[in-house]
Amino acid sequence: MTIFLIKYDRKNGKLLSIQPFSKKDRENAEKSRLQFELSELNQGTNTEVVILEAKDKRALKRTHRRYFEDLSELTK
């Protein structure tokens, strides 16, 4: 299993970044998420930051499509 730190622009519906971490680096992923959220809070942006766990990126794209597809692709 891999841990993914995802940054997503809610307003524009776009993936900003995805960073993989090994399971043993969960603490680093959580620290990165917190630092980014605090930074975004001070700037007042509408960025979503999540940590998700999946077998691989392909599995993540299947289970969390909204981060990877636009609205027209999701409604097909």
The tally of domains found in the chain comes to 1
CB-based contacts of 2: which residues, under 8 Å, 6+ apart?
20, 21, 22, 23, 53, 54, 55, 56, 57
- Full residue range of the structural domain in which residue 54 is found: 2-74
Q: Which residues pair with 13 in a beta bridge?
A: none
pLDDT at position 64? 95
pLDDT at position 33? 95
d(CA 57, CA 40): 25
Q: Three-class SS of residue 49?
A: strand
Instruction: Supply the pTM of this predicted model.
Output: 0.87
More confident residue, 39 or 19: 19
Instruction: State pLDDT tens for residues 22-34.
Output: 999 999 999 999 9
Instruction: State pLDDT tens for residues 31-47.
Output: 999 999 888 877 778 89
